[in-house]
Structure 1
Amino acid sequence: MTTAKLMAQRGAAKIGLIDRNEALLANSSATIRELGVEVATAVADISRAETAHRGFDDIVSKLGRIHALVNSAAIYPRRPILEITDEEWDLENAINVKGTYHMMVAAVRHMRGFVNPPEIAGRIVNVTSVDAFKAHPQNAHYAATKAAVVSLTKSFAQECAADGILVNSVAPAGFATDRAKELGFLPELAKASALGRAAEPVEMAEWIVMMASSRNTYATGENVVISGGYIYV
């Protein structure tokens, strides 16, 4: 939501939102419309190709050409490694990895062919995590999915460069979302960070918006770590 709102404030003419939570979509779209931006929404389960692609196509039918995709959907369970069940593994992969993959495929199919490279046909930004690079207790399955998304980002960047599509990822450390506050790890993270604090959501959104915007004309296959000095990769 923070990223979509910042995009609206930075001049995006149209914004599409996809989520499986219809009530959340309604609230988010209302907030963005107050900024004078056209908004389209689609309720979709992105863990399945057919429903993910249908949701993306629904947005296209309402808004027209899509210039940028931001993949930020993820679930963040906590479980000791000896207690993770097959069902939890499957759900984690379904949302964090397969969901990201399905949306990227839908975006690439839409974006390719609009212009002739080296002109930019579109941009994709995936939200990963420093957990892809730094182990934390009770976090193995989530970290594994985020490492997979980093790898997917690089693979798509290689294959889609010829189509003029830039694909990158942004890897934040923990930032002050309601969920992070609820889990209670922000004070520990802040203490371990060079800047001595967790990031605010808008500080993460700034990097995502920049990578998705026309200001990015050359970066592709990159994973930008934004951690306030918590980790150096």
Structure 2
Amino acid sequence: MSNPSSALDLFRLDNKVALITGAASGLGAAIATALSQAGATVAVHGNRRPADDTAAAITAAGGRAEAFQADLSSTTGAETLFHQVKQKLGRVDILVNNAGTIHRAAAEDTLLEDWQQVLQVNLTSVFQLSQLAARDMISRSAPGQTVGKIINIASLLSFQGGIRVPAYAASKGGVAQLTKALANEWAPKGIQVNAIAPGYFATTNTEALQADETRNRQILERIPAARWGQPQDLAGAALFLSSHASDYVTGTVITVDGGWMGR
């Protein structure tokens, strides 16, 4: 971006198209809302059904949003989704790989089919969508210019092993390493690839932990901020990594965890 009139202009996303997976609720919906408020047209994805509620809320607030549906647990889901968005909106300038799933079971009891589903949604579809987006971005690239942003949603379990979630931990460790690998290849082509590792956020994925009095207390005792994260707490990091403000930032994993990893 050349000669912005103010530092805040670096965060504007006017005339950008952003695809956010897993945006029917929770973190994905909050990220989509933030990018819309910065001026982007957002494609919001739902796995089982289109993210109509998120799109409607963004549109009611004066933003531009389109809802899409594709099953990312299928090996063809990523391609189906990307082609739908490309056909409807013309291109993708920002990709946020937020969709994810978790399976809780002892490692010795985890079925191969459950392992494979978690890896497909959390890691393989991230690579598939990133590859599709990068090909599209590179086709529009010019030397020395930023042409696209890819943001992957990692996890604290990108760094830690967790308990009873072997597939999830493996997939999120893979997301962190994939982020670095893609950043190395695509930075010279004008694409920044980064990741956000959320801490303990109050979403549907963590309802069981929040309801467990002992685990809830243990988690809060470990978080310096002494509270669960709220989806909107992720908005600033997502906007930064989506915007020209982060044009010299690539291959990094930003933790948004209330201080958990620093404890």
Q: CA deviation at 1:49?
A: 5.0
Unpaired runs of 5+ in structure 1? none
- Give, in whole Å, the separation in 2 of the partners of 1:20 and 1:57: 15
Query: RMSD between aligned alpha carbons?
Result: 1.8
Question: Which residue of 208, 227, 230 corresponds with 2:238?
Answer: 208
**Within 1, Cα distance between the matches of 2:116 and 2:106?**
16
Q: CA offset at residue 70 of structure 1?
A: 0.3
**1:147 equivalent in structure 2:** 173
Q: Does the aligned pair in 2 maintain the 1:174–1:186 contact within 8 Å?
A: no
* 1:52, distance to aligned residue in structure 2 (A): 1.4
Aligned counterpart for 1:15 among listed residues 33, 42, 56? 42
Which position in structure 2 is the counterpart of 1:5? 33
Q: 2:254 pairs with 221, 224, 229, which one?
A: 224
Q: What SS does structure 1 have at the residue aligned with 2:261?
A: coil
Contact 2:36 2:64 in 1 (8 A): no
Question: Shift of residue 225 of structure 1?
Answer: 1.5
How far apart, CA to CA, are the structure 2 residues paired with 1:49 and 1:112? 24
Task: Report what 2:137 is aligned to.
Answer: 111
**Aligned partners of 2:75 and 2:120 also within 8 Å:** no
Partner deviation per Cα, 1:80-125 (whole Å, 9 max, x = no partner):
2221111111111111011111110111011113231321000000
Q: Distance in 2 between matches of 1:228 and 1:37?
A: 30
What is the distance in 1 between the residues matched to 2:162 and 2:72?
27
The two structures have a TM-score, normalised by structure 1, of 0.92
- For residue 218 of structure 2, what is the aligned residue in structure 1? 188
- Distance change in 2, residues 1:163/1:33 (3 Å): same
Tell me the amino acid that sits aligned with residue 27 of structure 1: D
Deviates most, 177-186 or 118-127: 177-186
Q: Distance in 2 between matches of 1:231 and 1:70?
A: 23
Residues 1:28 and 2:38 are matched in the alignment: no
1:51-70 to structure 2, matched below 5 A, reads 51-70=77-96
Structure 2 unaligned spans of 5+? 1-28
Aligned to 1:125: 151
Q: Distance in 2 between matches of 1:117 and 1:127?
A: 28
Distance 1:101 1:186 in 2: 33
* Number of residue pairs the alignment of both structures matches: 231
Measured in 2, the distance between the counterparts of 1:135 and 1:94 equals 19
Give the 3-state SS of the residue equivalent to 2:246 in structure 1: coil
Which residue identity is paired with 1:11?
Answer: G
Letter in 2 for 1:82: E
Residue in 2 that maps onto 1:156:
182
Identical pairs, percent:
27
